[in-house]
Chains A and B, each alone.
Chain A
Amino acid sequence: MAITGREQRRAASADASADAGHGAEVNAGTVDARSASGVVRRSPRAVWWRTYLHHLRLLRAAAVAWIAGLAGITWGVAATFDLRHGSEEELAALAEMEGIPAFEALVGRYVEPATVEGLTLSRWGWFGILAAVWGMLAGARLLRGAEEAGHVEPLRAGPIGPRGHLTTALAALYTTHLVFLVAIGVGHTAGGMDPATSWATGGAMALLTACFATASALTSQLVTSRRRAVGIVGIAMGASLGIRVLAAGSATPDWVWWATPFGWIGFLHEIDQARGRVFLAFGLLLAVLLVAAVVTADRDLHGAVLTTDDEGVGRRTARPVGGQLGLAVRLTAGPARTWGLIVAVVALTFGLMARDFAEVAAELPATVAVAEQMGIVGLDTPAGIIAWTLSLFVGLLVAVFVAGQVAAIREEEASWRIEHLLARPVGRGRWLVTRLVVVAVAAAAIAVTGGIIAWFATVMVDVPITFVDGVLAGVNLIPLAWLILGIGVALFAFVPRLAGPVTYGLVVVAFALDFVGGLLDLPEWVLELSPFRHLASVPAVDLDVPAALIMLAIGLVGAALGTLVFRRRDLQEA
């Protein structure tokens, strides 16, 4: 049953009037009032405040993990700068990387990388993406996921309207972003960065995260499911990153950097004198998104602004799902399509830029040599560019898709929907293995799609890698995806309530170890723990079959162990 915001507020208002008529004292301030009956009446402001605290409690644990991870890793980059880049030669090698399109496509503008500020900012060019992902997921979780789960009715049944509910959630989200700002500002200053740049970085990152959280809040008003809300923002994020890649091209005009929020981060360096414009741009974007979210928030509970076919009227003949396999395919297909589309956009973009990047890199042999020492092979060839960008971007995207599916498998149990199947003649092992096989095939399909799209793009720009090389570049990522799936399934069996968050966390930590681990002066054996580090630069080099087999074996053991344990443990609710 749909309850409109206006109706609810009318009811709340009538309630308040009735209270006033009966002598209940309702303060305009935040102080609670006690009526003659002993019932504590909350003033509207107090209700808003309590709802805000409720949202903050829901966000707290995940926010602490994200902030500690992101601010901690980049603090490490700043703090160990002198250790890692103490000599003239090392600084010269870093300086040579400035303005290289391939690097800038990944991390945004690469300004003065031989300074602690420049290097750390460039890392935020990448970790800003993760911060945006955090904002996107948290916004949709609070503004649509909670509604889907039926947690919003009790809140909205009180004297708070839809806009009040939205603003409390956004205020809670922004509070976590403020903490993020402070963590970066304090941490980076302590790590040796110039204080002004530290705080500017913190402010920009907080605003970037807030923009994507607000974008999710907006799409949560537009569509009826969290998956769709995240999907729309995810596609917008992919497009924004695509624009950044285009902006990195040597022939692209400079203003293109300003067409994407991921490009603005690169203007924070002091020498650009553009911090004011960066904050103005973020402020304007946030304001537009916020106004749009508030305007669209006055809608039916469980409804959405955009008309969809959700109600399914007239679809009595909707195609049957079939059995358990059909259900697994149906549940996986939606996210697979969304992530596949993002991967396709990313692979197409890098494929189209491969020639440009390779030509510029070919003029910088010292840089290419340094990159080779870091395991990035053939940066001066289109094949090398494809290998590097696919293993970084597409590898991470496929890994995040798999982590999301582990969380989705757990959600089937947490919501107790699994009971409908397991109370029928469906074995637990069969149920789990069916889901695993479908997810594994979907992950492989997404990875290979990335490779084929990259091949297609290189054909378009006349520097073709072979079709087989394109396919192999995708195949190269499959062991990584299946490894994470296997570990995720083992977590699902042993610690079901932690399976989703821990699998996501492992992906982020593994990626961070590979991406910035070298800068943190960590022991080699620690760095070797990251599966991303064992991805071969296919198609620049051949598949690393032994490494792939080891990852597959670990994944298989995890999946087998997880399935065995799941068969013998109690089902556990959320």
Chain B
Amino acid sequence: MATQAPVVRFAEASKRFGDTLALDRLTLEVHEGEIVGLLGPNGAGKTTTLRLLLGLIAPTGGHAEVFGIDAWQQPVRAHQQLAFIPGEFQVWPQLTGGQILDLLGTVAGGYDPAFRDELIERFAFDPAKKGRSYSKGNRQKIAVIAALMTRAPLLVMDEPSSGLDPLMEATFQDCLREAKAAGQTVFLSSHILSEVEAVCDRVAVLREGVLVEQGTLDELRHLHASTVEATYVGDPPALDGVEGVEDVRVADGVIRLQVSGSTDPLLKALAQADVPSIQVSEPTLEELFHAFYDASEDLAGSTA
């Protein structure tokens, strides 16, 4: 997979708005068939990243490519192979949902009408109403259906499930998995960590316009501590000086600790004691997310 040309490529891409550096030399690739999530709090540069990729704003340094095509220099060519879901979908108030879907499908260069109808059914969307009467969630359904029905090779999404209820959120995740199974590539930004955890192969974390980490969830987990909880009989296991072990807490026959990197030294040390049970919990994406930010803030604090 990694040997193929990337579907999405940011090469030292930067964007400055006046005195504010919104994106700082972002280098990132997304390969065919992957679902890659872009994480970051408000103002981290996620939307700027996606707008650079869509050629809606000009990079002040570096560039962004879609299927090897420069997104700013040749946006029309680049857009022939992608579909986009914005986070806040503003509709034309005088058009019906059906008219908007038809319009967006037409300007996209074509769509699958049968699939559109299926999506309308699955998302329980009423296309007969006029734009001004749709709720936020229903407006978002238009955006989702309009993008998916084109079956574009690349799906770019900016907080795509914003406003969807939990049932529709589940349907949306099903659609993403089906898209991946069909060989489509997905690059999405999201605040919903459970969604990213559920569907993404890789994640990239932005903070204040800087890419602070990227990789598969497994790779990221290996970079960070897992939580280990073990019960023991008799004396507690001796863990002083064991590689990767920290934050050891012992109480009432239970030992809790954090372990980073390989668990092999820890397991050998535990084997020296009478340990009837052991449970290893890998960090959730939320814990990883907080870890990145705490570490970044510590770094910022120490360099300030």
**Chain A: residues with CB nearer than 8 A to chain B?**
1, 148, 224-225, 302, 310-316, 318-324, 326-327, 330-331, 334, 415-417, 419-428, 568-571
Could you write out 21 A-B pairs with CB less than 8 Å apart? A1-B135, A225-B94, A310-B132, A311-B129, A312-B96, A313-B128, A316-B128, A318-B96, A321-B99, A321-B103, A416-B86, A417-B90, A419-B54, A419-B56, A421-B107, A423-B156, A424-B104, A425-B79, A425-B109, A427-B76, A570-B57
A148, B133: Cα distance in complex, Å: 10
Q: Is B115 on the interface with A (CB-CB < 8 A)? A: no
Q: Which residue of A lies closest to B120 (CB)?
A: A316
A312 and B57 in contact, given A320-B103, A321-B103 (Cβ under 8 angstroms): no
Residue of B77, B91, B133 touching A417 (CB-CB under 8 A): B91
Q: Decide if A312 touches B130 in the complex (CB within 8 Å).
A: yes
Q: Which residue of B lies closest to A309 (CB)?
A: B130
A568 and B86 in contact, given A148-B93, A310-B130, A424-B104 (Cβ under 8 angstroms): no
Question: Taking the nearest CB of chain B, how far is it from the CB of A331, in angstroms?
Answer: 7
Q: Decide if B106 touches A322 in the complex (CB within 8 Å).
A: yes
A316 and B76 in contact, given A225-B94, A321-B95 (Cβ under 8 angstroms): no
A422 and B103 in contact, given A312-B130, A427-B76 (Cβ under 8 angstroms): no
Q: Decide if B86 touches A312 in the complex (CB within 8 Å).
A: no
**Chain B: residues with CB nearer than 8 A to chain A?**
51, 54-58, 75-77, 79-80, 82-84, 86, 88-96, 98-100, 102-104, 106-109, 127-130, 132-133, 135, 143, 146, 156
Q: Which residue of B lies closest to A320 (CB)?
A: B102
Question: Taking the nearest CB of chain B, how far is it from the CB of A387, in angstroms?
Answer: 37
Cβ of B132: which chain A residues have Cβ within 8 Å of it? 148, 224-225, 302, 310
A422, B127: Cα distance in complex, Å: 23
Q: Decide if A324 touches B107 in the complex (CB within 8 Å).
A: yes
Q: Decide if A314 touches B103 in the complex (CB within 8 Å).
A: no
A570, B94: Cα distance in complex, Å: 27
Taking chain A's interface residues, is the majority helix, strand, or loop, or is none over half, making it mixed?
A: loop
Residue of A321, A326, A334, A422 touching B54 (CB-CB under 8 A): A422
Q: Decide if B108 touches A424 in the complex (CB within 8 Å).
A: yes
Q: Which residue of A lies closest to B85 (CB)?
A: A423
Q: Decide if A330 touches B94 in the complex (CB within 8 Å).
A: yes
A224, B131: Cα distance in complex, Å: 12
Cβ of A330: which chain B residues have Cβ within 8 Å of it? 94-95
Residue of A416, A427, A428, A568 touching B90 (CB-CB under 8 A): A416
A313, B156: Cα distance in complex, Å: 32
Cβ of B57: which chain A residues have Cβ within 8 Å of it? 570-571
Q: Decide if B75 touches A427 in the complex (CB within 8 Å).
A: yes
Q: Decide if B128 touches A312 in the complex (CB within 8 Å).
A: yes
Cβ of B79: which chain A residues have Cβ within 8 Å of it? 423-426
Name the 5 nearest CB pairs between A and B, nearest first: A423-B84, A570-B57, A316-B128, A425-B79, A320-B102
Cβ of B93: which chain A residues have Cβ within 8 Å of it? 148, 225
Q: Decide if A313 touches B76 in the complex (CB within 8 Å).
A: no
Q: Which residue of B lies closest to A228 (CB)?
A: B94
Question: Taking the nearest CB of chain B, how far is it from the CB of A337, in angstroms?
Answer: 13
Cβ of A423: which chain B residues have Cβ within 8 Å of it? 54, 56, 79, 82, 84, 86, 156
A423, B57: Cα distance in complex, Å: 11
Q: Decide if A420 touches B104 in the complex (CB within 8 Å).
A: yes
A419, B102: Cα distance in complex, Å: 16
Question: Taking the nearest CB of chain B, how far is it from the CB of A283, in angstroms?
Answer: 36
Q: Decide if A321 touches B102 in the complex (CB within 8 Å).
A: yes
A75, B281: Cα distance in complex, Å: 80
Q: Decide if A571 touches B108 in the complex (CB within 8 Å).
A: no
Question: Taking the nearest CB of chain B, how far is it from the CB of A384, in angstroms?
Answer: 42
A321, B156: Cα distance in complex, Å: 25
Q: Which residue of A lies closest to B78 (CB)?
A: A425
Cβ of A416: which chain B residues have Cβ within 8 Å of it? 86, 88, 90
Q: Decide if A323 touches B107 in the complex (CB within 8 Å).
A: yes
Q: Decide if A312 touches B129 in the complex (CB within 8 Å).
A: yes
Cβ of A320: which chain B residues have Cβ within 8 Å of it? 98-99, 102-103, 106
Cβ of A568: which chain B residues have Cβ within 8 Å of it? 58
A423, B77: Cα distance in complex, Å: 11
Q: Decide if A570 touches B56 in the complex (CB within 8 Å).
A: yes
A417, B132: Cα distance in complex, Å: 13
Question: Taking the nearest CB of chain A, how far is it from the CB of B125, in angstroms?
Answer: 11
Q: Decide if B88 touches A417 in the complex (CB within 8 Å).
A: no
Residue of A318, A417, A424 touching B107 (CB-CB under 8 A): A424
A423, B51: Cα distance in complex, Å: 9
A313 and B129 in contact, given A148-B93, A427-B76 (Cβ under 8 angstroms): yes
A422, B54: Cα distance in complex, Å: 8
A330, B103: Cα distance in complex, Å: 12
Q: Decide if A318 touches B128 in the complex (CB within 8 Å).
A: yes
Q: Decide if A420 touches B86 in the complex (CB within 8 Å).
A: yes
Cβ of B86: which chain A residues have Cβ within 8 Å of it? 416, 419-420, 423
A571, B146: Cα distance in complex, Å: 22
Cβ of A312: which chain B residues have Cβ within 8 Å of it? 96, 128-130, 133
A520, B148: Cα distance in complex, Å: 63
A224, B133: Cα distance in complex, Å: 10
A426, B127: Cα distance in complex, Å: 24
Q: Decide if A417 touches B84 in the complex (CB within 8 Å).
A: no
Cβ of A422: which chain B residues have Cβ within 8 Å of it? 54-56, 75
A311, B91: Cα distance in complex, Å: 14
Question: Taking the nearest CB of chain A, how far is it from the CB of B129, in angstroms?
Answer: 5
A28, B253: Cα distance in complex, Å: 64
Given contacts A311-B130, A321-B95, 19 further A-B contacts (CB under 8 A): A148-B132, A310-B130, A310-B132, A312-B128, A313-B128, A315-B128, A318-B128, A321-B100, A323-B103, A323-B106, A419-B54, A419-B56, A420-B86, A420-B89, A423-B84, A425-B77, A426-B79, A568-B58, A571-B51
Q: Which residue of B lies closest to A319 (CB)?
A: B99
Question: Taking the nearest CB of chain A, how far is it from the CB of B223, in angstroms?
Answer: 34
Q: Decide if A571 touches B56 in the complex (CB within 8 Å).
A: yes
Q: Which residue of A lies closest to B15 (CB)?
A: A570
Q: Which residue of A lies closest to B77 (CB)?
A: A425
A570 and B58 in contact, given A416-B88, A424-B107 (Cβ under 8 angstroms): yes
Question: Taking the nearest CB of chain A, how far is it from the CB of B188, in angstroms?
Answer: 14
Question: Taking the nearest CB of chain B, how far is it from the CB of A305, in angstroms?
Answer: 16
Q: Which residue of A lies closest to B83 (CB)?
A: A424
Cβ of A318: which chain B residues have Cβ within 8 Å of it? 96, 98-99, 128
Question: Taking the nearest CB of chain B, how far is it from the CB of A412, in angstroms?
Answer: 9
Question: Taking the nearest CB of chain A, how far is it from the CB of B50, in angstroms?
Answer: 9
Question: Taking the nearest CB of chain B, how far is it from the CB of A541, in angstroms?
Answer: 42
A422, B55: Cα distance in complex, Å: 9
Q: Decide if B128 touches A425 in the complex (CB within 8 Å).
A: no
Q: Which residue of A lies closest to B128 (CB)?
A: A316
Cβ of A148: which chain B residues have Cβ within 8 Å of it? 93, 132
Cβ of A426: which chain B residues have Cβ within 8 Å of it? 76, 79, 107
Question: Taking the nearest CB of chain A, how far is it from the CB of B26, in angstroms?
Answer: 17
A570, B143: Cα distance in complex, Å: 22
Q: Decide if A315 touches B96 in the complex (CB within 8 Å).
A: yes
Cβ of B51: which chain A residues have Cβ within 8 Å of it? 571
A320, B99: Cα distance in complex, Å: 5
Q: Which residue of A lies closest to B109 (CB)?
A: A425
Cβ of B106: which chain A residues have Cβ within 8 Å of it? 320, 322-323
Cβ of B146: which chain A residues have Cβ within 8 Å of it? 420
A302, B75: Cα distance in complex, Å: 37
Q: Decide if B128 touches A327 in the complex (CB within 8 Å).
A: no
Question: Taking the nearest CB of chain B, how far is it from the CB of A493, in angstroms?
Answer: 14
Q: Which residue of A lies closest to B97 (CB)?
A: A312
A324, B107: Cα distance in complex, Å: 7
Residue of A302, A326, A334, A415 touching B103 (CB-CB under 8 A): A326
Cβ of B156: which chain A residues have Cβ within 8 Å of it? 423
Question: Taking the nearest CB of chain B, how far is it from the CB of A568, in angstroms?
Answer: 7
A316, B120: Cα distance in complex, Å: 12
Cβ of B56: which chain A residues have Cβ within 8 Å of it? 419, 422-423, 570-571
